[in-house]
Structure 1
Amino acid sequence: MSAQPENQTRPRRRWLRLTAALLCFGMLGTAGGVWLGWQRYMGQGPLTADTAVVIPRGTGVQGIAQRLADAGVIGHPLELVIASRLRGDGAKLRAGEYLFTGGISLKAALDLIISGKVIVHRVTVPEGLTSWQIVERLRAETNLSGDVTAIPADGTLLPETYQYLRDDARADVLARMSADMADALDRLWAERAPDLPLKSKREAVILASIVEKETGVAAERPRVAGVFVNRLRIGMRLQSDPTIIYALSDGRGQIDRDLTRADWKLESPYNTYVVPGLPPGPIANPGFLSLQAVLKPETHRYLYFVADGTGGHAFAETLDDHNRNVVKWRRVRDGE
């Protein structure tokens, strides 16, 4: 076979060299693209500070990608769309409110949304608030949703710190508080001391609400409860100022002035200076410790107590001793 002319073989060689070069460049470009994509997926993201992002229910992958891009979590929505498709877990992305840390990678952002580790909010309800005050506190929680159409009865809600998620309903939080109060009361009632002058769980809550408002010192509550239990046993009036305040405030639990002597003559079933026994209902929502104190009160012979100027109270068995304690308190109050 005769050799091909030189002018025919040279173009073919050039074409082969060009094709090989293009293939090499293509392979390098592909490798570079893969490397760059991997860096965008695993490397530090553009977010400069911790940021909360809400993903509403029903939001698809593209909607999630757009929200994260708008918040600066990722550079472009397409990054998350492509990454989720390559991972095959787009259907696993979950709605909720998430906290993305500064510099979070695309991979970590996807992992977080799939994990469902949403932001947990908390609302603390102090002991001794009326139900109206508790509802107002929940209304002030902007991360909760829905309004409260009816104020729960006083004494039916357990003060505590409650966790919730963004857009949880206020009514649902109240329902949890009510269930917790019922559970706590059932448990404490079953373990109550014998021979208490309390006929029902409701009476226990009524007395506990008075104890709650009389002292903020936890260690004193069983002793204060013991004073009221002693009074109930001998038919002595409870004479508790907080019950009058409750009546004067129309159940809202506070007034903007001190009580006067005229207030002690108020015609109200809640005036325990006039009406014997317990008032007709709780004057607040007592906490667990006050409920426990009433159902397991301290055993003593005290019938009186008055503030001692240190945040606590001075207790007395007789009226004479009590009057002396009152004189001491007035001196402390007046700075003498």
Structure 2
Amino acid sequence: MYIKKILWAVALIGLVICGVFAYYIYNAMFAPNTNFNNEVAYIYVPTNADYAEVRSQLEPLLEDIDAFDALANQKKYTNNIKAGRFAISKGMNNNDIINSIRSKNLPLKIAFNNQHSLADLAGRISTQIEADSLQLITAMTNETFLSKNGFNKVTALGMYLPNSYEFFWNTSAETFRDRMLTEYNRFWTVSRKAKAKKLNLTPNEVITLASIVHEESKQADEQPRVAGVYLNRLRIGMPLQADPTLKFAAYQLPLYKNTIIRRVLNVHKSIDSPYNTYKNAGLPPGLIAMPDLSAIKAVLNPEKHSYLYFAADAKRLGYHKFAKTLGQHNNNAREYQRYLSSQGINK
């Protein structure tokens, strides 16, 4: 009888221990363990991160970091860290959290437009993916890559077509660059290449001209007409005389650093630069800024007309008045100059 009591006692103790162990396992694996109010929180795990880095991001998001540590160790996550952007939903348990940050790297949308240089673009992209701006600019200006793919340092910006794209956060600089080359090549279909050839332009030259068109007019409905003017000038050997190229040339000089040129003056027309399209015939060596896709398409599909000139329209700001003769153009230009003077814009 005494032995039976001992056995029952041992059995009860065993059940209690099993119950405690089961409760511990349940809490460690299946009990909710989040500590934030939003529906979803994100962590960003860098390439080659260790568990300590992951833990430092998780700790403020979890109620019981020690329970998470125990399960992470048991499931061998602590020695198998994956880089990326991961979501943790409110009310998740430790098991689900580990499964999420181990295998559910989430892509994100990155976007860019109208960057004025590769450095500006690198800075913009570095705020959206893991690669930093130095890594990006190094990849973007790699001379072997550029020459292999038909670019140089002054045309390289044209490879990056403004849009939104899906990437993983832990994308490297080289992967980003190579993906942009793929998108560029995808854009240049047989049809678009044929249109460029008909205009006696290469794809790089199309984008260079598009950058000027875009800087002249942000109005998509007007860009084909502006493109038509410049193509007419190129066709007859007339200098482009594009004011945005003068601004670009000026901004390369120490005198104009950190300034904004709101009015192009004769002094700007005397700047010695291959980008001065008042002094040099034809297109400049490369683009002066990143054009919108609408401007590139405008160059490839220009409006057919006989205009050779245009001036900003003082009565319809953002648009232009077009002219076939220099006399008519001078009248339009004087009207706009008077408007600038009335606004106190002298430089």
Interval containing the TM-score (normalised by the shorter chain): 0.7 to 0.9
Change (3 A) 1:250 1:317: same
Q: In the alignment, which residue of structure 1 is the partner of 2:62?
A: 73
* Alpha-carbon displacement from aligned partner over 1:148-188 (angstroms, at most 9, x marks no partner): 34744334322323444445333443343344334423555
**Using the alignment, how far apart are the partners of 1:63 and 1:267 within structure 2?**
57
Does 1:53 pair with 2:43?
A: yes
Does the CA contact (< 8 Å) of 1:246 and 1:254 recur in 2?
Answer: no
Give the deviation of 1:291 after TM superposition.
1.9
Give the deviation of 1:331 after TM superposition.
5.3
* Alpha-carbon displacement from aligned partner over 1:276-335 (angstroms, at most 9, x marks no partner): 222233323333322221121111222222222432222233334433433443455436
Matches within 5 A, 1:122-271: 122=110, 124-127=111-114, 129-138=116-125, 143-145=130-132, 146-147=134-135, 148-149=137-138, 151=141, 152-154=153-155, 155-160=157-162, 161-187=164-190, 189-192=192-195, 195-196=198-199, 198-250=200-252, 255-257=259-261, 258-271=263-276
Does 1:319 pair with 2:326?
A: yes
**Using the alignment, how far apart are the partners of 1:125 and 1:171 within structure 2?**
17
Change (3 A) 1:192 1:82: same
Q: In the alignment, which residue of structure 1 is the partner of 2:145?
A: none
* Matched pairs, number: 320
Does 1:107 pair with 2:107?
A: no
Q: In the alignment, which residue of structure 2 is the partner of 1:283?
A: 288
Change (3 A) 1:283 1:335: closer
**TM-score, structure 2 normalization:** 0.74
Matches within 5 A, 1:83-122: 85=74, 94-118=82-106, 120=108, 122=110
SS at match of 2:221: helix
**Using the alignment, how far apart are the partners of 2:190 and 2:178 within structure 1?**
19
Give the deviation of 1:253 after TM superposition.
10
Does the CA contact (< 8 Å) of 1:56 and 1:96 recur in 2?
Answer: yes
**Using the alignment, how far apart are the partners of 2:287 and 2:20 within structure 1?**
73
**Using the alignment, how far apart are the partners of 1:194 and 1:135 within structure 2?**
31
**Using the alignment, how far apart are the partners of 2:294 and 2:3 within structure 1?**
91
Change (3 A) 1:92 1:216: same
Change (3 A) 1:247 1:182: farther
* Alpha-carbon displacement from aligned partner over 1:134-153 (angstroms, at most 9, x marks no partner): 23444666832353347443
SS at match of 2:177: helix
Does 1:305 pair with 2:310?
A: yes
Question: Which amino acid in the other structure matches residue 188 of structure 2?
Answer: L
Question: Which amino acid in the other structure matches residue 170 of structure 1?
Answer: A
**Using the alignment, how far apart are the partners of 1:140 and 1:222 within structure 2?**
34
Does 1:38 pair with 2:31?
A: no
Does the CA contact (< 8 Å) of 2:154 and 2:285 recur in 1?
Answer: no
**Using the alignment, how far apart are the partners of 2:4 and 2:54 within structure 1?**
45
Question: Which amino acid in the other structure matches residue 230 of structure 1?
Answer: N
**Using the alignment, how far apart are the partners of 2:61 and 2:115 within structure 1?**
44
**Using the alignment, how far apart are the partners of 1:266 and 1:63 within structure 2?**
57
Question: Which amino acid in the other structure matches residue 106 of structure 1?
Answer: N
Q: In the alignment, which residue of structure 2 is the partner of 1:8?
A: none
Question: Which amino acid in the other structure matches residue 154 of structure 2?
Answer: A
**Using the alignment, how far apart are the partners of 1:270 and 1:79 within structure 2?**
61
Does the CA contact (< 8 Å) of 1:93 and 1:110 recur in 2?
Answer: no
Change (3 A) 1:103 1:83: same
**Using the alignment, how far apart are the partners of 1:135 and 1:59 within structure 2?**
23
Change (3 A) 1:291 1:57: closer
Give the deviation of 1:225 after TM superposition.
0.6
**Using the alignment, how far apart are the partners of 1:321 and 1:286 within structure 2?**
29
Does the CA contact (< 8 Å) of 1:158 and 1:181 recur in 2?
Answer: yes
Aligned Cα root-mean-square deviation (Å): 3.7
Unaligned runs of 5+ in 1: 1-12
* Alpha-carbon displacement from aligned partner over 1:92-113 (angstroms, at most 9, x marks no partner): 8633332323443112202212
SS at match of 2:321: strand
**Using the alignment, how far apart are the partners of 1:331 and 1:317 within structure 2?**
21
Does the CA contact (< 8 Å) of 2:43 and 2:58 recur in 1?
Answer: no
Moved more, 299-308 or 149-158: 149-158
SS at match of 1:192: helix
Does the CA contact (< 8 Å) of 1:211 and 1:225 recur in 2?
Answer: yes
Unaligned runs of 5+ in 2: 142-152
Give the deviation of 1:271 after TM superposition.
1.7
SS at match of 1:190: helix
